[in-house]
Structure 1
Amino acid sequence: MTANTLGQVAVREVMDIRQAAEYLGISSDTLYRYASEGFVPAFKLGNRWRFRKSLLDSWMDEKSGVTPSVALEDAVDATQKKPMGRAR
């Protein structure tokens, strides 16, 4: 089976509009409009939009209010985590 067969998408650092739209979970038309308006970080290579995954991730963190310097695992003290139950 391939990665796409399993419903997983191979994410590249530089994505075209179709790949980036799938990564963000929006339509290509919406992402094209956002890129044209400067709402999302993007650049043109020739006449085609390109998107860097790292910039999209930073942009999403900024828009969602996540501080980039604090990773999710670092935000939770390991001693305060609930113990995992056994699998049945």
Structure 2
Amino acid sequence: MSDLDALFAPYPEKLSIDETAALLGISKKTAYKYLADGTIPAYKFGSSWIILRDDLKGKLMEGSNQQQD
């Protein structure tokens, strides 16, 4: 299990804004900004955001400066 897998392990498949912000160590305001500009991958349904744990983990892996297995 990678460090990233361990970081995401306790979180549910679908993340709330609060969970996403806590996971990334950012404020809710910044999380909403990142959602709006596409930095955080998500789906908008009406006024709600659907943030999938594995999509976010994949996005973080893309930006890693570490060699991936």
Q: Which bracket does the TM-score occupy, shorter chain normalised?
A: 0.7 to 0.9
Map residues 17-32 of structure 1 onto 2, 5 A cutoff. Answer: 17-32=17-32
Whose Rg is larger? 1
Instruction: Say whether the 8 Å CA contact 1:61–1:67 is kept in structure 2.
Output: no
Unmatched segments (≥5 aa) in structure 1: 1-9, 71-88
- Write out the 4+ residue segments of structure 1 that deviate beyond 2 Å after TM superposition: 65-68
1:49 corresponds to: 49
Instruction: Compare relative contact order (CA 8 Å, sep 6+) and give the higher one, 1 or 2.
Output: 2
Computed over aligned residues only, the root mean square deviation of the Cα atoms, in angstroms, reads 1.6
TM normalised by structure 1 equals: 0.59
Unmatched segments (≥5 aa) in structure 2: 1-9
Which structure: greater helix fraction?
2
